Amino acid sequence: MLSCITSVKEGMEISTELPENYVPKRILHDWTDHPVGGVGTPWWLKCDKYIEIACFSCGCNLRCPQCQNWTTTYCGKGRPISPSEAARITTYMRKRYRVNRMAISGGESTLNRKWLLSYVKTLKELNQDSDVRIHIDTNATILTRDYIDELVDVGMTDIGPDLKGLKVETFMRITGIKDRELAEKYLKTSWDAFRYLVDNYKERLFIGVGIPYNKALISMDEMIMIGERVAKIDESVQICVLDYRPEFRNVTISRPSYTEMLNVWKTLKGIGLKTVICQTSLGYIGP
């Protein structure tokens, strides 16, 4: 039975065990060459040339009304592929564009844990000839400590976790999650993932944090609280503030102006954060 289309009924016995030789699959989009990269791309690499190959996984556990990549996130069409097939395509594209970075974003890249671990492991095996970077951008809401350990073990080198608020009300507004208990769990997991990454892998991984900003979704007071909390964990971590624009089911918000984003940048820098980049309609501000 396909679990994604089978209704749960009273008395049903549900097993999530899969056969040992089961090969997980995912639908991926795009494999584009990228001149900017994502949240977990070091700012000093962002330039006019291609710097990384990125692919995008369909599906997400969040329901952000203004999802910036909704055509991929909510797409269930396409041929699901195995980790080894995906890794071969990514490797081919990396060589074709002569870059050393390979990224996966989404949708949510960390869904289907077995698939992602196998994908990163295969990428590492196929690219031993060069100094490659394997980069994962994630909403970090299911990124538990043991999952992080496993990703590092198989070859992840760069990661961009999102912190979509500090208050649960803000997180629920931004992500469209209506179940408060679930929202609290997701928000706690994402902050815990960030702290765990800094405490345990700061020397080994590149860590860049994504924070959304739009005054209709999050207040400046909360941005300040987020900045202060991040600074307490690591004042030198790269922060990328994303100017959330009208998209998908939330077209009534306005894209933050350049001046608003400059104000966010000055405020976060004023808190003592050393590396702040703000995305704007006119290009990046910072660091």
Q: Which is nearer to ligand SF4, 83 or 160 (CB)?
A: 160
Secondary structure (DSSP) of 158-193 = EEEEB---SSHHHHHHHH----HHHHHHHHHHHHHH
d(CA 252, CA 71): 19
d(CA 40, CA 103): 9
Q: Which is nearer to ligand SF4, 41 or 73 (CB)?
A: 73
Q: Which residues bind ligand SF4 (CB under 6 A)?
A: 60, 62-64, 67-69, 73, 106-108, 139, 175
Q: Which is nearer to ligand SF4, 64 or 116 (CB)?
A: 64
Strand partners for 159:
136, 207
d(CA 287, CA 162): 18
Q: What Rg, from alpha-carbon coordinates, does the chain have? A: 19
Min CB(106)–ligand SF4 separation in Å = 5
Q: Which is nearer to ligand SF4, 59 or 227 (CB)?
A: 59
Min CB(107)–ligand SF4 separation in Å = 5
Min CB(176)–ligand SF4 separation in Å = 7
DSSP 86: H
Q: Which is nearer to ligand SF4, 140 or 261 (CB)?
A: 140
Min CB(144)–ligand SF4 separation in Å = 17
Min CB(58)–ligand SF4 separation in Å = 10
Min CB(98)–ligand SF4 separation in Å = 29
d(CA 107, CA 62): 9
For the sheet with 133-138, list strands across it.
28-34, 52-57, 101-106, 133-138, 158-161, 206-213, 238-243, 275-278
Q: Which is nearer to ligand SF4, 62 or 103 (CB)?
A: 62
